[in-house]
Chain A
Amino acid sequence: MIKLKINGQEQSWDGDPDLPLLWFLRDEVGLTGTKFGCGQALCGACTVLVEKEAVRACITSVSDVVGREVTTIEGLHPTGDHPVQKAWRDLNVPQCGYCQAGQIMQAAALLIQNPKPSRDQIREAMAGNICRCGTYQRIENAVHLASTGV
């Protein structure tokens, strides 16, 4: 039996310990905010926080996070008003929206590590997250807004 903590709640799993965290979250726990885009750590759609780090849930197995705190988009902020979420809304970032949970989690992790990233640092840190709709200009501006307030 594997025990792990997701968004502050204990969860247990007695199936395949190698099951990717992504599918555990989505199919077993029902936290569907975290998305599937590639399954190979190539797109960032499945990004979650493990403690303070952005992690690709599609290549992280359930056993890798035993005893660690996992935060998904649903748990990022109690009322959904994390500065990154607010900036995303202020700048109308999403188009289809599918990539945006991963983008927001990646941006939140960036701001934990580096509260005042430069434009270049934003582009570098966000380069693992694909947006096929092409919302990059707004993503960059929104991360900047979340970090600086302007």
Chain B
Amino acid sequence: MNIQTNPNKLRGFERHIKVEKVKVENVSRRSILKGLGIAGGFVLAAPVMSRPAFAAYKTGADKMPHGTVVDPRVFVAIAPDGLVTIVAHRSEMGTGVRTSLPLVVAEEMGADWSRVRVQQAHGDEVKYGNQDTDGSRSTRHYLMPMRQIGASARTMLEAAAAKRWGVPATEVKAINHEVVHDATGRRIGFGDLAADAAKQSVPSIESLKLKDPKDFRYLGKGEIRIVDLRDITVGKAQYGADVRLPGMKYAVIARPPVTGGKLVSFDGTEATKVSGVEKVMEVKGWPWPSKFQPLGGVAVIARNTGAAVKGRDALKIVWDDGPNAKYESVAYRAQLEEAARKPGLIVRKEGDVDAALKGADKVIVGEYYLPHLAHVTMEPPTAVADVKGDKAEIWAPLQSPGGTREDVAKTLGIPEENVTINVTLLGGGFGRKSKCDYALEAALLSKDLGAPVKVQWTREDDVRNGFLHTVSAERIEAGLDKNGKVIAWRHRSVAPSIASTFAADTVHEAAFELGMGLVDMPFEIANIQCENPEAAAHTRIGWFRSVSNIPHAFAVQSMVAEIAHATNRDPKDTLLDLIGSPRLVNLSSVKDLWNYGEPYDSYPIDTARLRKVVELVADKGGWGRSVPKGHGLGIAVHRSFVSYIATMVEVSVDEKGKLTVPRVDTAIDCGTYVNPERIQAQIEGAAIMGLSLAKYGEITFKDGKVQQGNFDNFPVIRIDEAPLVTNVHIVPHDPDTPPSGVGEPGVPPFAPALINAIFAATGKRIRALPIGKQLET
């Protein structure tokens, strides 16, 4: 295993170190044709050249493994009948990206969307650039490259038409799937021009003319529906487990119940007697921690999944539980909370917080606790693999198709070029499907069996053997002067790090975790100190939608309301006071400021934008309006994934403590955007996920084992408990503001806004999640 030990580079992973080795010149035309799968009709094909993206604003895109590829010949094909095929190289897990990015290309090309077909890219980052669909990065990193690709294709089409007519290219323009020459009224369809356009040289990025945003036909409008909409509603959309190959076997696996445990022995006699079971076999496991390598265990191979599950129930297995056999959540919580009460590694320091706290008129202390969470994507992990000799083909729901290709090659010991990764639709991702262990399991089994295999995780497997969201204790001390002004702020965050899944002995949060709402806290306070005491992991920790922003924002935004209460002021006014003057926050005191991998110049922390979403949500949501008895309003704001989001929640708590949420309002400023309708959908969904984690979300351990297994003991919000209405207010589209994240940032402010609303309704301050029975009387 090649494990990167510098945890600060873990987002984007150890794959960074391989970038220099990649050569792009040798990708053949044939492979492009194959990739696009339209023999004969392909025209804009030529050798692939990667070039840096030229952009009005800079993003961190080129620092991602394999960077960006801006080349119309890779992403666009035009058939003689005019059908335009645009490649979607990011994974679709519900955000709408498979529609949005191709739509951007179509917009700039002047293509008519009804004559566009979207084709999903294989996992091939040399060809397409980075494909890690995580970190709320797709639109942020690819809006401009996709515009350039579209503009480039348009320029080639226009040049071809101008040449045919013998007029200057400046006199023609592409519009609605044809190129027109206004002066003479001549027009030629894209299909007729395709062959000639392919012969044009690809213009330099610097020479491209982008469309004036006021001429946009699709971008920013929200009128285009996702390309898979019809298929989804008729049962034709293809997810991972829907792939069926001739001769395919079905497998379920019994994995070690404790992280770091291993197989001692097994008896498959009874299992093999189950009707439909064909074989019982060992699956290779890797010692912990080993990034995304399989845990190992015993596989039951059958003619269908039901038989495999029944066979697994009949297995007799002896496990060695290993070093984490004593992991126990009650004791671990006490340990984290104890650590939070003592000094830890200082990760941000401005002024003298000790002196300021000592001299303060009043010190408010808040201790918060947030437990482990499981992703429970509606589609549990699953993958199909067909390994033949030194070639492997995978079909799976993957957030990281490029990384999976590397990992499959490494695991099987075959060259990367021999691995084909087919990306299906993802039935939810939330970070779980950034880890490809399930695809590696399928590859190992297929190799051993010499047949195609589908590995299906059951829900219990998903809950018990996944990569959990961290567990954390957060402690904030706020020192106030005699006027109630906050003069000191010390925030300690203690949580096992995702880096522990890559490197043993990890005890500190990585820069990318600290940078999610701890060290980038935007308040205008003279004395600030952030600390990160040590915490060791005892299970696999992984990215979960919005990651460390969940605990950090919960602590910070709960504390704001606690300060408001202690000083008898309005929570929204207190929040705005703390944010302070409109400015770009100077974070030069923070070493390794992550800033979501983005250059600070393009994506500074702009408190004017932060204030604006607070004011917008307060205005639209009617902050201060009178509410019925038992109701309360709460507010919270958080910048994450370089977007600004404020949420206002109205709750109702009855005499028995039953919590309902009549209304949610969320304001989002995500810069320029593609599809406001999908932004709205993401924010509606984030409210549900926020409510789920606040109300019920908790994974606990005893004797090293996860105590939950399915939706009965790890409940999520259902429709009868969902907010009655969630209103989404998008800060109007400004084409000059760089695009920022949408998929994740809706989650962090929800729980604190909810908890603050509960306090307003009941006077009860909840400091540990989930709410569970805490409101019951």
Residues of A within 8 A of B (CB): 15-16, 19-20, 22-24, 26-28, 30-40, 42-43, 45, 72-74, 76, 80, 85, 88-89, 92, 94-101, 104, 122-124, 126-140
Contact = CB atoms under 8 A, between A and B. Distances in A.
A31 B236 CA distance: 9
A136 B719 contact: yes
Contacts of B242: 32
A138 B717 CA distance: 15
B378 A42 contact: no
B427 A98 contact: yes
A31 B688 CA distance: 30
Interface in B223-281: 225-226, 228-230, 232-239, 241-242, 244, 250, 274-276
A73 to B, nearest CB: 3
Given A19-B306, A134-B684, A135-B684, A42 B232 contact: no
A131 B242 CA distance: 19
User: Chain B interface secondary structure, helix, strand, loop or mixed?
Assistant: loop
Contacts of B241: 26, 32, 36
A85 B685 contact: no
Given A124-B720, A137-B726, A30 B244 contact: yes
A98 B231 CA distance: 11
B233 A27 contact: no
B687 interface: yes
B195 interface: no
A27 B458 contact: no
A40 B233 CA distance: 24
B459 A39 contact: yes
Contact of B226 (A26, A92, A104, A127): A92
Given A98-B239, A139-B719, A104 B305 contact: no
Contact of B717 (A20, A124, A134): A134
A130 B94 contact: no
Given A96-B92, A133-B428, 19 more contacts: A19-B304, A22-B306, A27-B303, A35-B378, A39-B458, A39-B710, A74-B235, A85-B233, A98-B377, A99-B378, A101-B235, A127-B719, A129-B718, A130-B378, A130-B711, A131-B688, A132-B430, A133-B94, A135-B685
B466 to A, nearest CB: 14
B234 A80 contact: yes
B633 interface: no
Contacts of B456: 36
A32 B425 CA distance: 13
B307 A37 contact: no
B689 interface: yes
Contacts of B234: 33, 73-74, 76, 80, 85
Contacts, number: 194
Contacts of A36: 241, 305, 380, 456
A47 to B, nearest CB: 12
A110 to B, nearest CB: 12
26 contacts: A24-B304, A26-B305, A27-B303, A27-B305, A32-B242, A35-B239, A35-B379, A36-B456, A37-B379, A40-B710, A72-B235, A73-B235, A80-B230, A80-B233, A92-B677, A95-B681, A95-B685, A96-B94, A96-B428, A99-B378, A129-B718, A132-B378, A132-B430, A136-B719, A137-B725, A140-B719
Interface of B: 92-96, 225-226, 228-230, 232-239, 241-242, 244, 250, 274-276, 303-307, 309-310, 376-380, 425-430, 456, 458-459, 677, 681-682, 684-689, 710-712, 716-720, 722-723, 725-726
Contacts of A76: 234
- Considering residues A80, A96, A123, A140, which has the most beta carbons from chain B within 10 angstroms of its beta carbon? A96
A27 B685 contact: no
A60 to B, nearest CB: 11
B685 A134 contact: yes
A74 to B, nearest CB: 5
B146 to A, nearest CB: 21
A49 B187 CA distance: 53
A16 B232 contact: no
Contacts of A39: 309, 458-459, 710
A59 B207 CA distance: 62
B575 to A, nearest CB: 26
Those 3 A-B pairs whose CB atoms lie nearest each other, nearest first: A33-B235, A134-B688, A98-B427
A97 B684 contact: no
A91 B31 CA distance: 39
B76 to A, nearest CB: 26
B375 to A, nearest CB: 8
A4 B263 CA distance: 42
Contacts of A92: 225-226, 229, 677, 681
Contact of B427 (A20, A31, A96, A127): A96
B719 A129 contact: yes
A39 B712 CA distance: 12
A24 B276 CA distance: 12
Contacts of A136: 688, 717-719, 722
Given A16-B275, A137-B723, A37 B459 contact: yes
Contacts of B718: 127-130, 136
A88 B233 contact: yes
A23 B305 contact: yes
B235 A126 contact: no
Nearest to A75: B235
A44 B96 CA distance: 23
A132 B232 contact: no
Given A23-B305, A92-B681, A123-B720, A132 B226 contact: no
Nearest to B682: A95
A89 B685 contact: no
Contacts of A38: 459, 710-711
Given A23-B304, A24-B306, A100 B376 contact: no
Contacts of A19: 276, 304, 306-307
Contacts of B309: 39
Contacts of A130: 378, 711, 716, 718
Contacts of A24: 304, 306
Nearest to B721: A127
Contacts of A26: 241, 304-305
Nearest to B306: A23
